[in-house]
Amino acid sequence: GENVEQHPSTLSVQEGDSAVIKCTYSDSASNYFPWYKQELGKRPQLIIDIRSNVGEKKDQRIAVTLNKTAKHFSLHITETQPEDSAVYFCAVIGGQAGGFKTIFGAGTRLFVKA
Amino acid sequence: EPEVTQTPSHQVTQMGQEVILRCVPISNHLYFYWYRQILGQKVEFLVSFYNNEISEKSEIFDDQFSVERPDGSNFTLKIRSTKLEDSAMYFCATRFTGTSSYEQYFGPGTRLTVT
């Protein structure tokens, strides 16, 4: 089945710096790659997503890049702010088994120091 | 903005008891999902549901689990005989039927505590 690996598990940056989180997946048929932000005790919130026919997508300070050949995708946050501190999860949807199963990465705890 | 709602927000039950977790999807969303998240761990897919049947399920979703949409609005997850290891946050998510967006909208979750 699909396997999703996420790195790093913890990331600490200074306010204003950039943060990059990477995920790799195993099923080349996967076709949708969302990123979620989860604050303590809250639901996961979609922050950006990308489909397999696109290589890069940007929304203000957040961007996602996808390398289908290498089967990895990355989240880039620029000009980080303390309110960006949270746990970030990548996810992979689709694949050989069908279009509905969602596999999450293990999460990255981001700390933005003021 | 419409939201997915879940009830109860917190459920405490004794081992071996049955629990039913409820979700009200956003109207015109017809794909439904249940996930669980053990404290401090990642979100785990349990099951997806479309057109009144299970589309896909994970290894976690064994015979102790079932889902249904009893009245055309609520979407429920039943755990027949709860175990201590079922203690977790359970999230419902729903998705619009069109193919223009694959975005899943998560509910606020139900915290299940099995004692």
Q: Tell me whether A107 touches chain B (CB under 8 Å).
A: yes
Q: Tell me whether A54 touches chain B (CB under 8 Å).
A: no
Q: What is the pLDDT of residues B45-55, one digit of tens each?
A: 999 998 889 98
Beta-strand relationship, A108-113 and A10-14: parallel
Q: Which residue in the block uniquely carries the two structure tokens 């994970």?
A: B58
Separation between Cα atoms, residue A75 and residue A64, nearest integer Å: 5
Q: What is the pLDDT of residues A32-69, one digit of tens each?
A: 999 999 999 999 999 999 998 889 999 999 999 999 99
Q: What is the pLDDT of residues B6-29, one digit of tens each?
A: 999 999 999 999 999 999 999 888
Q: Tell me whether A32 touches chain B (CB under 8 Å).
A: yes
Say which residues have a Cβ less than 8 Å from residue B14's Cβ, sequence separation at least 6.
B82, B114, B115
Residue A111 has pLDDT above 60, yes or no: yes
Query: What residue type is A104 in one-letter code?
Result: F
Nearest residue in B to A103, CA atom: B45
- Banded model confidence at residue B70, pLDDT cuts 50, 70, 90: confident
Say if the Cβ atoms of B102 and A105 lie within 8 Å. Answer: no
